[in-house]
Amino acid sequence: MNIDQKKQAVAALKETIGEGHVYVVDTHGMKVQEVNQIRKKCREKGVKFEVVKNTLLKRALDEIYQDPQRIQPFAQNVIKGSSSIFVVEEVANMPAKILQEITKKGKKEKPRFKGALVYQEAFIGADQLKTLSELKSKEELIAEVIALLQSPIKQVVSALQSGGNTLASLVEALSKK
Residue 4 pLDDT > 60: yes
pLDDT: is 174 or 31 the higher one? 31
Q: How far is it, in rounded angstroms, from Cα 138 to Cα 133?
A: 14
Distances (CA, A) of 150 to 1, 136, 147, 164: 58, 20, 5, 21
**Bridge partner residues of 88 (DSSP):** 21
On the 0-12 / 13-18 / 19+ scale of CB atoms within 10 A, 103 is middle
Report percent pLDDT > 70 for the chain: 88
**Bridge partner residues of 121 (DSSP):** 118
φ/ψ of residue 121, rounded to 5: -120, 145
Residue 159 pLDDT > 70: no
Q: How far is it, in rounded angstroms, from Cα 114 to Cα 23?
A: 8
* Average predicted confidence (pLDDT) for the chain: 85
Q: Which amino acid is at 88?
A: V
Residue 71 pLDDT > 90: no
Residue 137 pLDDT > 80: no
pLDDT for 86 equals 95
pLDDT for 39 equals 93
pLDDT for 64 equals 87
What is the Cα 151 distance to its own chain's centre?
Answer: 28
Residue 164 pLDDT > 60: no
Q: How far is it, in rounded angstroms, from Cα 114 to Cα 84?
A: 10
Spell out the alpha helix ranges (H) of 24-66. Answer: 32-45, 54-65
pLDDT for 48 equals 94
User: 93-113 pLDDT, tens per residue?
Assistant: 999 999 998 888 766 778 899
**86, 98 Cβ separation under 8 angstroms:** yes
Q: How far is it, in rounded angstroms, from Cα 130 to Cα 86?
A: 16
pTM higher than 0.85 = no
Q: How far is it, in rounded angstroms, from Cα 165 to Cα 171?
A: 10
**Average pLDDT for 60-70:** 82
Q: How far is it, in rounded angstroms, from Cα 120 to Cα 33?
A: 32
pLDDT: is 128 or 157 the higher one? 128
